[in-house]
Structure formats: structure tokens, C-alpha cells
A = this chain, B = another copy of it.
Amino acid sequence: MTIRRAVTLSIGDELLAGETLDTHGRTIASALTARGCRVIEHRVLGDDASGIASAIESAASSADLVVITGGLGPTLDDVSREALAEAMNEALVEDGEARAHLDRWYAGRGRVMPAGNIRQAMRPVSARCLENPNGTAPGLQARLGEALIVVLPGPPKEMRPMLDGVLQAELPGSPRPAIVVRAFGIGESDAAERIEPLMRRDTRFPVATTVSRSLLSARIRGDQGDDLDAIESLAAQVEKAWHPFVFGRDEVTLPMALGTELARAGRTITTAESCTGGLVGAMLTEVPGSSGWYPGGWVTYENARKIEDLGVGAELIERDGAVSRSVVSAMAEGARRAAGADFGVSISGVAGPDGGSKDKPVGTVWIAVADDAGVDARCFHFSGDRSVVRDRAAKSAVQLARFRLRGDGAELLWQRDVRS
């Protein structure tokens, strides 16, 4: 039977109490959607066997696949095994192989298995256990009527490989082709306006946009391998409409895009950060291999560091303040010179909550990029709290460095709010 519709269940009192964020719902939805199976509902349930059992029965009557995560641990509040047995109206029996796996697991760690943990080797009579190379709890796979039921352990490290195994076995064939176009520096409504006809629901492959931490994504999904040309053409249209803000596709991050372009050009970049305090450096060095194009940089939080380490003139700070065109330009040039790098990028701003003034309210951030042709400084006014201001400032610096490297004189969205 082809699996077309799925229901997912996440189990755990800690999820319903708001202590833990349920991320499995999204992980599994994303994996199923990519393989052409639609999730019709996701439910979060507490550690109550009867409640879970009736949710399994109800899900099995409306879906081809039910994926349950959590409740497979060794403690008494882990009741997903019992719930599945109740829904299937079957007894629990000990699984020989699962028991042997448990024994080996503890023996290999020189520990005695607590008596209660034997529960983890139990399964409903007609179910089978799914091997768990990364933990003690095996998964479970069973049939209930026409539906396939899968129970996976809660810890992500154990859940993910088991999910992949089930999908490969039960939803074989290549995943639905998909392209995600990624951009930064343009707002969602502006971005949507630029591609409005492509987003209409009555088109064959409607483009869907999402924003996360100011990063914009456009997702285009086909149904079959031969849709690849069609979605490629749509992706190209989005890239054109969102130029120059697009920095890559799929898993590419903004710093990764800058790094790739720097490496290709054989050039290097250094950083001089005030209000972001090292965030740009941290973003750049998140990219594996960044040592090839990033020698390091400076966190010049206090003015003395700007003066001593970067050679910023004390008189500039005195005259214009640390958050100013002149100082941020001198920071970028000073860092570039000191590091012997091709590009220097610098940030100085008021991240808040304190330190704002009438002329330079919280959210005012100067960013400069220097290269051998000179220095380009721009003023932004970011809205949001300290964390949002710093994050946007750091990403804007990376994007402006990309623009400079590519010879684009483009402006980022937030420059519209400039008070310089």
C-alpha cells in the first residue's frame, strides 16, 4: 500500500507542561513531506497509556502511517509500549533479540542492567522491534488495520537514524525534488510582493516563503523526479526577483556563502566588532575550513581597544562618538591593515537596552567594509531587543561584505530606516 497520509504523535508530560519544546513533529513532518507523504495531523499527548492508545486507534483509522515518538524509556511513566499493545488488543511479550541487545549494552559499559529496564525488550505479540544502535530502547513497528504504526525513542540521536531506516524501507524511491532559495536583507512582505504570481495556490508548484531570524527562504517542491526542470526554473525566477539578496540554496548559510566566494577569489577577511562582541567572528568560524579565509579579528568593546589595537584616532571617538561613520570606518581599515587581510568589516552600535540617546537611539548600528579601494560605511536602525539587534547587525555585516566582494552596491532593507 502506498503511504500517502500520516499522523504523528509526540509523547511526554514535559512537552505538555511547556518544559521541553517538541521538535520531533517538525523533523518527521519535513522528512515525510520530502518523500511525498502528507502529515494530516500532529498531536502531543501526556504519559497516559489509555489516552495514547485511543489516539493511535483514531490515527490508524484516518492515516496510512502513524509515527509516535517518546515513551519508550525504562521508567514507569514511559508507556508507549503498553499503549500500542492496548490499541492492538495484544499482550506484551519479551523479544529475544531486543533482550540480548540490552544485556550487551550494559555489559559493554561494565554496568548491571536495572531490573526495570527489561521492560524495554517487550513488544506486542505481532509487532517487531527496531534496532537502536545509539541507546537501550528499541523502536517498534506494527500493523493496525491498514495502517503502519511506528514507535521511535525520544532522544534525537536515537530517533533520527531509526526514522531514516523506516522511511527507506517503507517509503522507498527518491525523495520529492525540492529547492530552497535563501536570502537576507529584504523583508517578507517585500519579498512576497516580488514573487506574488509564483506564490498563488492554484499554480502547479506554489512557492512558499518563511522567515527565521531575519533569514528568508523560498521553498519550491515538485512531486516527481521529472519536475526538476520546472522547479529549477521557478527557483531561478525567485533568485532573479530577490537579487542581490539571495546568497544560496538549500543548506547554504550566509557565512558559508561569503566563505565560498572568498575562497574562490583567493581573498581573506578580518573583523573588528564592538556591539556584536564577537558574533561575526563566531558566525564566520562556524563554517568548516574558515581558517582558509579568516585569520581572526578583534572584539574592541571599550574605546581603548579600538585605539590601541586598531589605531582608531582618539580624537575621532572624542569628536564623533564610538558609534559613527568615522570610527567604524577607521576600525575596518585598522583591522584590515593589522591582519593583512583583503577585507575588513567592522560594527559599532547601540544594542540596548541602555546607551541610547536622542541622536543615536537603541538599534542604531554603523557597519563598514574596507578593501584596497577604500571603505564604505552605512548606518542602520534595527528594531527589536538586544539579541535581535546584534543578530541582524552581524548578518548585515556578512551580507555587506559579500556585496563588496561581488561589486554590488546594494542596500539592505533596514537601511531604509537610517538615521545617520
Complex CA–CA separation, A15 to B28 (angstroms): 11
A64 CB, min distance to chain B CBs, angstroms = 15
**A302 touching B297 by the CB < 8 A rule?**
no
Residues of B within 8 A of A31 (CB): 18
User: Is A387 at the interface (CB under 8 A from chain B)?
Assistant: yes
User: CB-nearest residue of chain B relative to A75?
Assistant: B201
**B286 touching A299 by the CB < 8 A rule?**
no
Complex CA–CA separation, A14 to B309 (angstroms): 48
Complex CA–CA separation, A77 to B285 (angstroms): 41
Residues of B within 8 A of A105 (CB): none
A211 CB, min distance to chain B CBs, angstroms = 9
**Contact flag A210-B30 (CB < 8 Å), given A271-B299, A273-B278, A295-B305:** no
Residues of B within 8 A of A201 (CB): 77
Q: Contacting A39 at CB < 8 Å: which of B18, B43, B286, B309?
A: B18
Scoring A31, A285, A352 by chain B CB atoms within 10 A of each residue's CB, the highest score goes to A285
**B277 touching A282 by the CB < 8 A rule?**
yes
**A278 touching B275 by the CB < 8 A rule?**
no
Chain A, residues 353-389, CB within 8 Å of chain B (1/0): the string is 1100000000000000000000000000000001100
**Contact flag A22-B19 (CB < 8 Å), given A281-B299, A301-B285, A302-B291:** no
**B42 touching A15 by the CB < 8 A rule?**
yes
Please report whether the interface of chain A is mostly helix, strand, loop or mixed according to DSSP: mixed
Residues of B within 8 A of A208 (CB): 14, 17, 19
User: For chain A residues 257-285, which have a beta carbon within 8 Å of chain B?
Assistant: 271, 273-282, 284-285
User: CB-nearest residue of chain B relative to A286?
Assistant: B387
Interface residues of A, count at CB 8 A: 73
Ranked nearest first, the 5 interchain pairs of A and B with the lowest CB-CB distance are: A277-B285, A278-B281, A278-B278, A18-B30, A18-B29
A367 CB, min distance to chain B CBs, angstroms = 16
User: Is A40 at the interface (CB under 8 A from chain B)?
Assistant: yes
Residues of B within 8 A of A300 (CB): 296
**A25 touching B41 by the CB < 8 A rule?**
no
User: Is A1 at the interface (CB under 8 A from chain B)?
Assistant: no
**Contact flag A22-B25 (CB < 8 Å), given A15-B42, A301-B296:** yes
User: Is A118 at the interface (CB under 8 A from chain B)?
Assistant: no
**Contact flag A16-B44 (CB < 8 Å), given A282-B279, A285-B301, A299-B299:** no
A162 CB, min distance to chain B CBs, angstroms = 18
**B278 touching A353 by the CB < 8 A rule?**
no
A397 CB, min distance to chain B CBs, angstroms = 12
Complex CA–CA separation, A77 to B309 (angstroms): 56
**B16 touching A30 by the CB < 8 A rule?**
no
Complex CA–CA separation, A276 to B26 (angstroms): 29
User: Is A288 at the interface (CB under 8 A from chain B)?
Assistant: yes
Scoring A28, A39, A304 by chain B CB atoms within 10 A of each residue's CB, the highest score goes to A39
A5 CB, min distance to chain B CBs, angstroms = 11
Q: Other CB < 8 Å A-B pairs besides A41-B43, A278-B279, 16 of them?
A: A15-B25, A16-B38, A19-B208, A19-B219, A20-B210, A277-B282, A277-B284, A278-B285, A279-B282, A281-B299, A286-B386, A296-B300, A296-B301, A296-B305, A297-B298, A298-B298
